[in-house]
Amino acid sequence: MTEKSALLEKLASVVGRENVTDDEGLLSTYRRGGAVEGGEPLAMIRPGSTKEVRELIKLARAEKYNLVFSSSAPPRLRGDSVPRGEGIIVDMSRMDKIVRLDRRNKVALIEAGVTYERLIPEVDKLGLKVLMPLLPKRGKSVLASCLEREPIIIPKYHWDMTDPMLCTELVFGTGDLFRTGSAAGPGTLEQQWAAGAAQKNPMGPAQTDFVRVVQGSQGTMAAVTWCSLKLEVKPRIHKIWFVPDHKLERLIDFTYRSLRPRLGDEWLILNAYALATMITENGQEIPELAKEQAPWTVIYGVSGYEYLPEERVAYQERDLSRHAQQAGVIPVSEVPGCSWKKMERILAAPSPEPYYKTRPKGDFLDIFFLTTLDRVPGFISVMEDVASEFGYPRDRIGVYIQPIQQGRNVHLEFTVYFSPEDRGKGRELYEAASRALSEAGAFFSRPYGIWSELAYARCPDTVRVLRKVKEMLDPDQVLNRGKLCFTPEEVS
């Protein structure tokens, strides 16, 4: 028996032969993701239950495997599921049950493999909506999106960084099972439901919040098998507005004025190229369509709910128009190539295939980090300067500004688009821009690839404590070995 077939046999002993593969076609999607390259996936295994996940982790501890958990379909955009060196991919897509939907308490309980595409219509039937990031890829796991702290597009519902995720079931790198928030017990989920609970309290249990440690950890602390997810009411009336302007500062002013009193539902700011990329599926039209747009556009939604929906929309629109006037900007109901109705459809669904950011050139890289809204123009200048140095046209950079935490900070995202054959040049620009932005004060809160090196160099105290936690939760380094600040020799 070869080493490889021995490995497959051992894995099959946990999940059955039919759920283990070394098919190169499947594994190849884990060799590269975003700017991260060089993964060496040995096999892919598809557990069907928490029990199997636990057995798998125990096996990995005994055999010193490196397990890389992945719940979403390709393309791989960030590189967190690309092993550092050799690794076994644990594909969670078989665990795809929508375990429970609760209209009264506006909550879903879903397994790791449930995608937005699958969840949205089920939630819609109840008159509720899923809180989504901007145009997630079609096969994106909802739970993975939450674990990666992808920003949702409705800032008023983003109270805290764990939102919209509430309670979770975890399997630590030790193989121990744990549940967070009010799901922790006492009792099974069924017993808790019978008692009227709905796994809505995201905190605890008791005096730790392990879900926060696991969120953002790129699968290095625990596997997450399910989570409860807060849902919101689907509006009775919903309208989208655009506020195009050539001065970003005016739109920033308008955004600050409006988000403070929690006006609007969806709220995001795009530059012309990012907007054009979203609104046409024909990549060739994008440059022209971008030229027709104002350099910057705020997109916001206004909603009316069950009670007095027209009155709610009316007061919100009046107040927003007052803020617009004070900021010197004008809301309109369409922009070139996109009516408000069309934008409403775009924002309510995952990206069509192929993924929308591949439209301009076929390939792309994102650079994103957290900052405050007032600091955004400074970062844009840095990005434009680096792009110019590389001969990349400034007006072909995609810029997406997503207010989060009810407007207290923003996710700022730059996208550079290139053809697949120009990937090398694209990477060089990406790396240079990442370094320049880091120096300018970008907070890479989700440090994929080279960002982990940049981010952790700034915070040695955080690194010191994170390594202690890693040692506690994953003492044998079986979970996504070598990622973040957890190079094996440094942790041990």
Residues 420-479 that bind other proteins (CB under 8 A): 441, 443-447, 451-452, 455-456, 458-459, 461-462, 464-466, 468-469, 471-472
- Report residue 112 as tokens: 């790791």
Among 66, 141, 220, 480, which residue sits at the site for other proteins (rule: CB under 8 A)? 220
Query: Closest distance between other proteins and the C-beta of residue 156, in Å?
Result: 8
CA proximity to 435, closest of 388, 389, 476, 382 = 382
Return d(Cα 311, Cα 361) in angstroms, integer.
Answer: 45
- Report residue 316 as tokens: 């919100």
Nearer Cβ to other proteins (417/451): 451
Query: Closest distance between other proteins and the C-beta of residue 350, in Å?
Result: 25
Only segment of 4-12, 64-72, 237-245, 372-380 that touches other proteins (CB under 8 A): 372-380
Only segment of 286-294, 334-342, 365-373, 389-397 that touches other proteins (CB under 8 A): 365-373
Query: Closest distance between other proteins and the C-beta of residue 365, in Å?
Result: 19
Among 30, 65, 116, 210, which residue sits at the site for other proteins (rule: CB under 8 A)? 210
Among 20, 221, 383, 491, which residue sits at the site for other proteins (rule: CB under 8 A)? 221
What would you report as the CA-atom Rg of the chain, rounded to the nearest whole angstrom? 23
Tokens 């967070």 -> residue: 180
| Pair 240, 343: CB distance under 8 Å | yes
Q: Please, which of residues 104-163 interact with other proteins by CB under 8 A?
A: 104-106, 149, 159-161
User: Counting contacts by CB under 8 A, is residue 51 touching other proteins?
Assistant: yes
Nearer Cβ to other proteins (337/447): 447
User: Counting contacts by CB under 8 A, is residue 366 touching other proteins?
Assistant: no
CA proximity to 301, closest of 311, 316, 315 = 316
Query: Closest distance between other proteins and the C-beta of residue 32, in Å?
Result: 21
Among 1, 24, 195, 282, which residue sits at the site for other proteins (rule: CB under 8 A)? 195
> How many chain residues are in contact with other proteins, going by CB under 8 A?
97
Query: Closest distance between other proteins and the C-beta of residue 473, in Å?
Result: 9
Return d(Cα 169, Cα 155) in angstroms, integer.
Answer: 26
Among 200, 247, 250, 435, which residue sits at the site for other proteins (rule: CB under 8 A)? 200
CA count, 13 A, side-chain hemisphere, 91: 22
User: Counting contacts by CB under 8 A, is residue 216 touching other proteins?
Assistant: yes
CA proximity to 172, closest of 115, 138, 107, 219 = 219
Can you give the length of the chain in residues? 492
Nearer Cβ to other proteins (44/437): 437
Phi, psi of 301 (to 5 degrees): -115, 150
User: Counting contacts by CB under 8 A, is residue 191 touching other proteins?
Assistant: yes
Query: Closest distance between other proteins and the C-beta of residue 451, in Å?
Result: 8
Nearer Cβ to other proteins (140/179): 179
CA proximity to 156, closest of 275, 274, 303, 270 = 303
| Pair 138, 351: CB distance under 8 Å | yes
User: Counting contacts by CB under 8 A, is residue 182 touching other proteins?
Assistant: yes
Phi, psi of 40 (to 5 degrees): -125, 75
| Pair 412, 370: CB distance under 8 Å | yes
Query: Closest distance between other proteins and the C-beta of residue 197, in Å?
Result: 4
96: Cβ contacts below 8 Å, ≥ 6 apart: 111, 112, 113, 114, 115, 118
Judged by DSSP in three states, 87 sits in: strand
- Report residue 403 as tokens: 């207010």
Q: Please, which of residues 294-333 interact with other proteins by CB under 8 A?
A: 305-308, 311-312, 314-315, 318-319, 322
User: Counting contacts by CB under 8 A, is residue 97 touching other proteins?
Assistant: no
Nearer Cβ to other proteins (179/396): 179
Query: Closest distance between other proteins and the C-beta of residue 77, in Å?
Result: 17
Nearer Cβ to other proteins (125/318): 318
Q: Please, which of residues 248-267 interact with other proteins by CB under 8 A?
A: 256, 260-263
User: Counting contacts by CB under 8 A, is residue 485 touching other proteins?
Assistant: yes
- Residues 472/478/482/483 CA torsion (nearest 10 deg): -80
User: Counting contacts by CB under 8 A, is residue 405 touching other proteins?
Assistant: yes
28: Cβ contacts below 8 Å, ≥ 6 apart: none
| Pair 297, 243: CB distance under 8 Å | yes
Per-residue H/E/C for 13-65: HHHCHHHEECCHHHHHHHCEECCEECCEEEEEECCCCHHHHHHHHHHHHHHCC
Nearer Cβ to other proteins (278/313): 313
CA proximity to 337, closest of 379, 280, 383 = 280
| Pair 290, 336: CB distance under 8 Å | no
Only segment of 11-19, 190-198, 326-334, 418-426 that touches other proteins (CB under 8 A): 190-198
Nearer Cβ to other proteins (199/415): 199
227 forms bridges with which residues in the sheet?
110, 168
Among 140, 179, 239, 361, which residue sits at the site for other proteins (rule: CB under 8 A)? 179
Judged by DSSP in three states, 344 sits in: helix
User: Counting contacts by CB under 8 A, is residue 205 touching other proteins?
Assistant: yes
User: Counting contacts by CB under 8 A, is residue 213 touching other proteins?
Assistant: yes
User: Counting contacts by CB under 8 A, is residue 204 touching other proteins?
Assistant: yes
Nearer Cβ to other proteins (219/426): 219
